[in-house]
Amino acid sequence: MSLSEVVLIVSSLVESPSQLWEDICEGTDEWTLLTLFTMIPPLITYHLIGQLFLYMDIHHWPIFLYRHKIQKVPVDTSLLPRLYSSMRWGTIFLVIPVFYLNAYASLWLKPYGMGIRVSATLPSLTEIVRDFLVFAVVEEVLFYYSHRLLHVPFFYKR
């Protein structure tokens, strides 16, 4: 891919994201959209942010962020290969299968009007805000009760 192609892609993202998304949807089947486009952005975000925090822990830089770190225990860099092995294992055997199950469930629930909606038109701002608020409330409730459940002695003592 040449530099001019990269510039063209980036400029199309800035100028018309809806047109870019329509072009992607036009040439891509629904299964690919549900798997790749719901899997790749969170994985890249998770790993990129994790690497930035790890860099900050190892190098104590940038200082304006490191100064606010609560646990200032030095990082044992000899454990990094084990960390990366665990991350690879978790991504391959846990995260990716969950994304595939999610895509399968979305296709299965589609006739009932549920699941992830994939269409060439982007959602409206109202729909984005509504979905974000519903997700935030549901996630907070599920996190709270799962956290409480894990403090039950049956689970906690193990």
Answering whether pTM is above 0.95, one says no
Which residue's entry shows tokens 């100028």? Answer: 15
pLDDT 10s digits, 46-86: 999 999 999 999 999 999 888 888 888 889 999 999 999 99
Q: What mean pLDDT is predicted for residues 88-95?
A: 95
Q: What mean pLDDT is predicted for residues 135-143?
A: 95
Residue 56's nearest CA partner among 44, 67, 47, 42 is 67
- Check residue 73 and give its pLDDT: 87
The CA distance from 20 to 120, in Å, is 9
- Check residue 24 and give its pLDDT: 84
- Check residue 13 and give its pLDDT: 63
- Check residue 46 and give its pLDDT: 93
Which residue's entry shows tokens 């199950």? Answer: 101
Residues in the chain: 158
Query: Which position has the higher pLDDT, 6 or 121?
Result: 121
